[in-house]
Amino acid sequence: MTSKSAIRADAERLRSRFEARGATLFETSVLQPAGALLNLYGEDIRARAFVTHDPLRGEMMLRPDFTLPLVQSHLASGGQSARYTYAGEVFRRQEDDDTRPREYIQVGFEIFGGGIEADAEVFTAMAEALDGAPARATIGDFGVLTSAIQNLNTPQRRKHALLRHIWRPRRFDALLDRFSRPAPPPPPMPDENIVHVGRRLREDIAARIALLAEEAETPPIPFDDLKKLRALEAIDDTAPKAVDALRQLGEIGSADRLAATLEAIAGHGIDPGGLRFQTSFGLTSLEYYSGFVFGFKADGFAPVATGGRYDLLTAALNNGVPVPAVGGVIRPEVRLAMKGAAA
């Protein structure tokens, strides 16, 4: 097992590399207010975070990551173009896997401002930070599925529901299955002569029944739309072949965006032919990302580096106005373990 001092030394070395790219050091408290995290992620965050209570500040969480406080700090400073790096412990609860760490060091590199070239630079910075550790790179693009969902021939309320659950594959699949079949007829309205019992108001019940009635009259998602969406979800190939697959499915905008990203990555000296593209990459773990995403992993090890574009997060914290942002994190203890195993 790698010593804590060796991990800290490697974290400092990695952070220095990102500072050499023009990044400013960002530091934040280990204890973070729970309110902002709960507002952003909902109650799901409780299953992944250590929660405590402070008599003066209320509910607090041990820092689950650096990104949220970094975005808050950046927006408070005026939200201009900037680069940041950080290094420190993050904490994650583990309820069903005792082999996964509850505390580990994370080193990050974040760029605010810029588009595809910024995506390529962050990806390249993480690839170079591996220093030869034998990890395979996989990339994805959340915009492929979100764009396809927006183009479905179905009402906007259904599209909103699908987009809300896109990061929860089981719920998403169940919802997509429900919208692809005729909806059942709504229940009858309650008899006004019967005494109302319960916390829900009659108006709430009436509104719900009206929505169910509207659903019953809404046609299912067309089979061709459903087939195309499933085909997009299933893309898993080398990145250049994924561009061709997207074009064949008529996703010209997504194909052009991916092709431009690969060209930018190639401009940094990385062969796009060695990258894997998965449309669904990161859907269960990268829930504040909104575009290009990536990860580096080797068999038998946890992901050593992950990241991507998170304009959705900045919009959520900036009154709906997105600020272009992309970042990545690397775990020095995984990197050192991979290097040791390969030696």
pLDDT tens per residue across span 145-183: 999 999 999 999 999 999 888 888 888 899 999 999 888
Residue 339, number of CB atoms within 10 A of its CB = 16
pTM for this structure?
0.87
Q: Taking the alpha carbons of 296, 299, 303, 308 in that order, is the dihedral positive or negative? A: positive
- Alpha-carbon distance of 306 to 110, in angstroms, equals 12
pLDDT digit string (tens) for the chain, length 343 residues = 788 999 999 999 999 999 999 999 999 999 988 877 777 766 666 667 788 887 888 888 888 889 989 999 999 998 789 999 999 999 887 766 666 778 899 999 999 998 999 999 999 999 999 998 889 999 999 889 999 999 999 999 999 999 888 888 888 899 999 999 888 887 776 666 666 666 777 677 777 777 777 777 889 999 999 999 999 999 999 999 999 999 999 999 999 999 999 999 999 999 999 999 999 887 766 567 888 999 999 999 999 999 999 998 898 889 889 899 999 999 999 999 998 887 6
Pick the CATH number of 4-22+63-147+230-342 from 3.40.50.920, 3.20.20.70, 3.30.930.10, 3.40.190.10: 3.30.930.10
Residue 67, number of CB atoms within 10 A of its CB = 19
pLDDT tens per residue across span 283-336: 766 567 888 999 999 999 999 999 999 998 898 889 889 899 999 999 999 999
Q: What is the largest CA-CA distance in the chain?
A: 80
